[in-house]
């Protein structure tokens, strides 16, 4: 009987240790890793086609490629010459033919119409010099019912100025302005995260192409 009690205590202590260890290893704030949040919000699954718009050095395109599997595809778009070169390099090293590097322009993504189940714009939208043209273009690239995840930052007064972008009070965009701009093109908010991590000013908004969205 006493041995049974001792065993139960050891078991409880083991569970407690496991819980403590998980808490220590978990990212700050107990949030799941960013990659998991992105995959879950965009409902990414093997075989899907997703675009990483403004992919930068390609870190996220490579992660997304792993998640859509061999039958899936990732379009990684960029406009900056040296980043396009770095992106192509990284893709050549990491990819199994799943990532297509796309040269975009200030007013067009270069994505084929209706190509994508989902779009990721991570810290990119506030860089657009013609956001209206890009919204229309991205709307055309998205399949009906497709989702866009916008990870953004509220205006950061101390960050460098971005030439030719709309003045929204600094480097970034307020959440309500972001929502209003996309709503004007018929996009509907699915959910938002007022805090995204990585930076106190960072947030995320998930949108869906509504019935009145451009590009139908
Ligand atoms: C802050 S970086 C973000 C890079 C990457 N998404 C990340 O999260 O690490 C913004 C990127 O947007 C790109 N960009 C700006 N305007 C663009 C456009 N119209 N189409 C595609 N990319 C654009 C810039 O070249 C830059 O690499």
Q: Which two tokens stand for residue 16?
A: 């407690």
Torsion of CA 132, 136, 60, 159, to 10 degrees: 0
Q: In the chain, which residues have pLDDT < 70?
A: 1-30, 95, 214-216
Helix (H, G, I), strand (E, B) or coil at 185: coil
State the CB neighbour count (10 A cutoff) for residue 190. Answer: 13
| 55 CA from centroid of ligand 1 (Å) | 6
Separation CA 177–CA 57 (nearest Å) = 28
The reply to whether ligand 1 has any atom less than 6 angstroms from the CB of 54 is yes
| 143 CA from centroid of ligand 1 (Å) | 22
Could you tell me which of 50, 117, 63, 124 has the C-alpha nearest to residue 90?
A: 63
Atom of ligand 1 nearest to the CA of 128: 16
Per residue in 4-50, pLDDT (tens digit) is 555 555 454 444 434 333 433 444 446 799 999 999 999 999 999 99
Separation CA 173–CA 151 (nearest Å) = 11
For the question of whether the overall pTM of this predicted structure is more than 0.85, the answer is yes
The reply to whether ligand 1 has any atom less than 6 angstroms from the CB of 103 is no
The reply to whether ligand 1 has any atom less than 6 angstroms from the CB of 162 is no
């Amino acid at each position: 009987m006493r041995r049974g009690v001792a065993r139960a205590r050891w078991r409880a202590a083991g569970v407690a240790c496991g819980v403590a260890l998980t808490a220590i290893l978990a990212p700050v704030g107990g949030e799941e890793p960013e990659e998991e949040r992105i995959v879950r919000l965009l409902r990414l699954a093997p075989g899907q086609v997703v675009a990483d718009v403004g992919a930068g050095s390609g870190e996220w395109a490579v992660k997304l490629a792993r998640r859509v599997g061999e039958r899936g595809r990732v379009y990684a778009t960029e406009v900056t010459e040296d980043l396009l070169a770095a992106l192509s390099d990284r893709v050549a090293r990491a990819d199994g033919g799943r990532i297509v590097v796309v040269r975009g322009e200030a007013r067009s993504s270069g994505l084929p119409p209706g190509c994508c189940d989902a779009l990721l714009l991570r810290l990119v939208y506030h860089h657009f010099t013609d956001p209206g043209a890009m919204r229309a273009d991205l709307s055309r690239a998205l399949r009906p019912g497709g989702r866009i995840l916008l990870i953004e930052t509220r205006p950061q007064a101390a960050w460098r100025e971005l030439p030719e972008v709309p003045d929204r009070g600094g480097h970034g965009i307020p959440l309500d302005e972001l929502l209003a701009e996309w709503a004007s093109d018929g996009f509907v908010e699915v959910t938002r995260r007022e805090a995204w991590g990585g930076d106190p000013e960072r947030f995320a908004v998930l949108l869906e192409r509504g019935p009145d969205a451009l590009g139908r």
